[in-house]
Amino acid sequence: MNGIKEVEDALKEIENMGAGNASRVMSDLIKKEVRLVVPEIKIVNKSDIASIVGGPESMVICMYSPISGDLSGNVVIAFQKKEAFKLIDLLEKKDIGSTELLEDEGKHQLENVGLILIRPYLDPLGEFLDIDVHSGKVRVLSTFGRSLSDFLLLNVKEENTLLITTNFSVPDANIHGDFAFLLAFSSIQTIINAIKSKL
């Protein structure tokens, strides 16, 4: 497929803005600095997703939302279990280390974080490429990383997927997370067409 390099360059710039939007929202939410790593974009096989997002043998907690409209895929915000518990403590204004189990209130807090962060992350994609991108209901999952990809890729038919990852951290609380945007490989042509129409 022609145009992959152009897609990578355009998406890196657009999603850098999206990740910046999301980090500012998160910083306002928890009243702490949030640091970002520049988004990494690559085409990966479905079988490799678990080792990239969360780690294959680690228990992860993630906020997940399917993507629909002109593009097909998923957005995932993933944390190691203990990191997610620290985030819940910040959101509930508790001492770090207070949360030891994912209970209903903590799950609700993480669902809200997903709702608040995913939209500002996706908005630049729709605005700059003039395409419809919709996020679905946010779900909170607690699972081993090796099982995560099976669930996340249910609506992705192809073996390969376009993966955009952004690592972020909250240094004051020693929290690290992964923001992952998984696109069905067939969506690449939609993005190529949208980029060409802007040239």
Q: Is the pLDDT of residue 178 over 80?
A: yes
Q: Is the pLDDT of residue 87 over 80?
A: yes
Distances in whole angstroms, Cα of residue 138 to Cα of each of 5, 7, 127: 31, 27, 22
pLDDT at 17: 85
The pTM of the full predicted model, rounded to 2 decimals, is 0.84
Tell me the pLDDT of the chain averaged across its residues.
84
Give the range with max mean pLDDT: 4-8, 87-91, 183-187: 87-91
Range of the domain at 47: 4-198
The arithmetic mean of pLDDT across residues 74-97, rounded, is: 91
Q: Which residues of 15-51 are buried (b: 16+ CB within 10 A; e: fewer)?
A: bbbbbbbbbebbeebbeeebeeeebebeebebeebbe
pLDDT at 83: 92
What's the structural domain count of the chain?
1
Three-state SS string over 149-167 comes to HHHHCCCCCCCEEEEEEEE
Residue 128 belongs to what H/E stretch?
A: helix 104-129
The CATH number for 109's domain is: 3.40.1550.10
Q: How far is residue 158's CA from residue 22's CA, in Å, rounded to a whole number?
A: 29
